[in-house]
Amino acid sequence: MPGTELYGAEERKEINDVLETGIFFRYNHDAQRHNIWKAKDFEQEVKNITGAKYAHAVSNGSAAIMAALAAAGIGTGDEVIVPPFTYIASVEAVLLLGGLPIFAEIDETLCLSADGIRKALTPKTKAICLVHMCGGMADMDGIMALVKEKNLILVEDAGQAFAASYKGIYTGLFGKAGAYSFDFFKIATAGEGGIFVTNDEHTYKMADSFCDHGHDHVGSNRGMENHPVIGFNFRISELHAAIGVAQTRKVPFIKEKNNYNKSYLQSKLSKVNGISFAKVCDPNGDSATFLNLLLPDTETAKRTVDEMNKAGIGGFNYWFTNMYHFINQWEHIKDLKTTSKLPIELLGAPQDYNQLHLPKTQEVMGRLISFGVRCTWTEAQMDTLAAGIASCAEKALTVIA
């Protein structure tokens, strides 16, 4: 959790600015706030890093991806390609907006592949919700070529990949709109927070209104604002935004340290026969928040996980059995267990979610073990960690006759 590793005086200063004004609401109250606008500052810091023309801070990353999909025009009956490996919010957002998720294959990038998307397309496919997983990025050349060929809407969930880029373009800015998460477990945290980004003015205005009950935010009297669309409340507080401001300013330093530490560990572990790494399409743009190991097969990966647990090695995820990041455990999605009826229950799902055929995804996920990279690691700590991982993998790789 790099952001929370560096929490200190900078965050306290930004929070105290808000406490001194007593204005925790992100809009209006101009006279009382003495020009303290932390949500606006947070948005500007994100724009400074990514180059986005427009950014809008919201209550969390889940709200950000819902806003991105809504502002891009995704709604009832629209078929949307989604990955089976993602934080589940990406799929929930499609469902709650009335969309119909279509699951497609990922590859060794840990993201949707162009080939996987193509094979999942139907004549009704309207959009792709592309998720950049574990700090890296998808193969954007192949995906963008397909987006243009089929005239699809692309929305990017870069919740785990803020500050990652591909050939100079930051994740979240290839398509119509993008989303970042700033929850407690990301490269930078606001405690709870998210950012919507786009380079399109109309899409930004739609998101700006959608996230605040349809308000157009024109003028200084909130009670007299117009409402161009129906929306809901996804506002961020000034207190959360204040933390986000300080944390986002630290991201260039965190990213530099992450990349050094990830490279250091990879140089050690690359000497172990049987360990390879997830594909990073542009190493120069890696946010390096995760070290993603690929073992030869699922059984070896499971044995490695067992050995690491026995050895007391922590800080890793075996996503194959993770309850909220991988489709194998999403019984509530497969069976459409809802609190109230969703459009998909009336319109019908475009796939049988209990009978999905995703062999490439199952193969990659079965082999994948991910370690969160810490920016505060010392080389001595990384030596110990690498030695521990290597020892456990070597034990797992030893086949007993």
Domain ranges of the chain: 2-251, 252-397
| Contact status, residue 98 vs residue 343, Cβ threshold 8 Å | yes
Which amino acid belongs to residue 384?
A: T
Radius of gyration over every alpha carbon of the chain, rounded to an integer in angstroms: 22
Neighbours of 159 (CB within 10 A): 30
Class of domain 252-397: alpha beta
Topology of 2-251 in CATH?
Answer: Aspartate Aminotransferase; domain 2 (3.40.640)
Following CA atoms 86, 92, 95, 98 in sequence, which dihedral angle do they give, to the nearest 10 degrees? -120
Residue whose structure tokens are 């101009």: 30
Instruction: Give the closest residue to 113 by CA, choosing from 127, 132, 95.
Output: 132
* Residue-level pLDDT at 399: 65
Which is nearest to 181 in space by CA: 132, 238, 216? 132
Tens-digit pLDDT string for the chain (401 aa): 677 899 999 999 999 999 999 999 999 999 999 999 999 999 999 999 999 999 999 999 999 999 999 999 999 999 999 999 999 999 999 999 999 999 999 999 999 999 999 999 999 999 999 999 999 899 999 999 999 999 999 999 999 999 999 999 999 999 999 999 999 999 999 999 999 999 999 999 999 999 999 999 999 999 999 999 999 999 999 999 999 999 999 999 999 999 999 999 999 999 999 999 999 999 999 999 999 999 999 999 999 999 999 999 999 999 999 999 999 999 999 999 999 999 999 999 999 999 999 999 999 999 999 999 999 999 999 999 999 999 999 999 996 43
pTM for the whole thing? 0.97
pLDDT at position 388: 98
Give yes or no for a contact between 242 and 11, defined as CB atoms under 8 angstroms apart: yes
Task: For Cα atoms 44, 166, 326, give the angle at the middle one, nearest 5 degrees.
Answer: 95
Give the pLDDT of residue 136. 87
- List of long-range contacts for 326-333, beta carbons under 8 Å, 24+ apart: 326/84, 326/85, 326/365, 327/84, 327/85, 327/103, 327/353, 327/356, 327/358, 327/361, 328/362, 328/365, 330/88, 330/91, 333/88, 333/91
